[in-house]
Structure formats: structure tokens, C-alpha cells
Amino acid sequence: MFTRKKIYTSIRKKNYTNFYFPFLFILTFVLILFSKTDYFLINKVKSVSIDYLTPLTKLISSPVDLITNLSLRINDIKNIETENLRLKEEIIRLKKWQTLAIKNSRENRVFKKLLNSTSHNVEIIKTASVISQSQSFFLKLITINAGLENNILENMAVINEKGLIGKTVFASNKNSRILMINDSSSSIPVKTLSDNSYSILRGTNEGKLLISSFIKDTELPKVGDLLVTSGNAKIFPRDILVAKVIKVNEDHYFALPYVDFKNLNYVQVVKSK
């Protein structure tokens, strides 16, 4: 019994061995063939994907690209708008600085003219700015930002770079009021530069011209004569430019002030030395 079983086992081993080796050979061959075939298929798939799938992929991805580009464009527009706002603010800031620079330049020119216009006959008490102005039919006044604290008293002459403006009529601690020479109640002793002909000028109701109220000599000034302060009133220092004769009648004349009373910014309060 044992011998039969042993013989049967030996026959099975032999059959298994005879099947196993051919199977391994065939499997190896199949794997090699499959490997070659797989390489060919992969290349074929790649070729097909390049020829057919790439255009399809572009077609599918084009909406996404469009949305992405649109989003980038919107962001660019937002950035441009932000930059424009920043540039507008910068322009506004630069314009403010430009306006301030122009104002300072004008002030410097005015101060320079004021210094140059001051003769050796006067002493400057204070250079001040005009803070208010009244040009009514009955009263022509200006208010400046200087007063008793700056040694300004009543009846002091006030000038600018063009000539005589008027005289102080009231002074508080910090401000003063000036009656301008074109007021009808003003009175300014003047003389001509050409022949020292003396007369008195006063303002007119409209305030554009000055008119003579007294002429010392029988001969009237001529059109074009320049009038300066005579110094007789002891309020206005002598030789300050006042006006120019533009019209002469039988017993009086009209003169045009050199000062532009509608554009007064800075003045000087002065007195005789």
C-alpha cells in the first residue's frame, strides 16, 4: 500500500514538473510580447491624444481661460482706477502747493516793492495786511491787522508800493481802521512835481477820482502832472505819490489815484522822520 502511494506521488511530481516549466516559458514569452505591445499602445494613445484630445481640451478650457482673463482685466481696471484716484489726489495736493507758492511769491514781490517805495522821509511803523474793506457810497474804509500793540495811533499815514492810501482814524489793541483818500471826507495837501504848485485834494462820492477843493496859486496844474504830498498837514510825510492830473476845468481839476483801492492786500503805516 505504501509503495503504491509513493509511486503515485512520484508520478504527480513528474507531471507537475513537466507542466510547470513549459508554463513559465509561455508566461515569460507572453509578458515580453505584452510589454512590447503595451509600449506600442501607449505611443498610439499618446498620438491620438495629441491629434484629437488637445483641440478638445482647448475647446473645453477656453471658457475657463476667458473667465480668468476677464477677471485679470477687471483687476487691472480696478488697479487703474485706484491709481487714477491717487494721481488726482496728488494733483490736488500739488495745486495747493502751487497756489501757496504763487501767493508767497506775490507777497514777496509786494514786500519788496514796499521796501523800495519807502523814501528817506518816512519811518515805517508797521507792515500789515488788510483784513476787511468797506467801499460804500458814504464811507471808504479798510481794516488792518495791527493796532496799539504795534505803536499805531490815530492820524498816521498809510501807504503801499504805489503811493498814498489814507490815514488811521481808529486803533484798537490789534486792529486799526484807515480812511482812504478817495473818501469824500478826506483832505490831502499836495503839490505838483513840475512846479511845486500847492493845492488840496479830496475824494469823490463814486471813489474813482480825486477833486481839488483848494488851489493856492492862480495857475492850475496841467493834465499829466504828478501830485505828491506836500507835508503841510503834518500827518502825511512829504513827497509820497498821490495821483495824476487827468482833467482840468476853470477853477478845479480831477486826478486819478495811483493806488488801486479795490485790490489792497498789504500796507505800511508810516510817519515823518
- Grid coordinates representing 131 are 483784513
- Residues 5, 103 within the same domain: yes
Q: Domain check: are 153 and 186 in the same one?
A: yes
Burial class (CB in 10 A: 0-12, 13-18, 19+), 203: buried
The pTM assigned to this predicted structure is: 0.58
Averaged pLDDT in 10-residue chunks for the chain of 273 residues: 52 56 62 52 55 60 71 82 85 78 60 51 87 82 94 93 92 95 92 87 89 84 89 85 91 92 90 83
How many structural domains compose the chain?
Answer: 2
**Which of 92, 117, 142 is where one domain is finished?**
117
Question: Are residue 23 and residue 81 in the same domain, yes or no?
Answer: yes
What stretches of the chain adopt beta strand conformation (E)?
Answer: 122-135, 140-144, 157-159, 164-171, 176-180, 188-192, 198-203, 210-215, 226-229, 241-248, 253-257, 266-272
Query: Do 128 and 223 reside in the same domain of the chain?
Result: yes
DSSP structure class, residue 255: E
Same domain as 70, residue 23: yes
The pLDDT of residue 33 is 53
Are 180 and 250 contained in the same domain?
yes
Q: What pLDDT is recorded for position 154?
A: 93
Long-range contacts of 194-202 (CB under 8 A, 24+ apart): 194/221, 194/222, 194/225, 194/226, 197/221, 198/230, 198/232, 201/227, 201/242, 201/243, 201/255
Q: Which of 100, 117, 134 is the last residue of a domain?
A: 117
Same domain, 88 and 22: yes
Strand partners for 99: none
Torsion, CA 82, CA 87, CA 89, CA 94, rounded to 10: 170
Asked if residue 217 lies in contact with residue 196, where contact means CB atoms within 8 angstroms, the answer is: no
pLDDT of residue 267: 93
Q: Does residue 133 sit in the same domain as residue 232? A: yes
Q: Are residues 50 and 133 in the same domain?
A: no
Output the DSSP codes for 152-220.
--SS-EEE-SSSEEEEEEEE-SS-EEEEETTSTT--EEEEETTT--EEEEEE-SSSS-EEEEEESSSSP
The cell 504805489 sits on which residue? 162
* Residues 98, 127 within the same domain: no
**Which domain does 132 fall in, by range?**
122-272
Structure confidence at residue 197 (pLDDT) = 87
Same structural domain for residues 176 and 259?
A: yes
Q: End of a domain among 117, 140, 155?
A: 117
**So what's the pLDDT on residue 213?**
87
* CATH assignment at residue 192: 2.40.10.340
Phi-psi region for residue 93, left (φ > 0), alpha (ψ -120 to 50) or beta?
A: alpha
**Is 244 found in the same domain as 173?**
yes
The conformation of residue 222, written as its DSSP 8-state character, comes to: P
Do the Cβ atoms of 152 and 269 come closer than 8 Å? yes
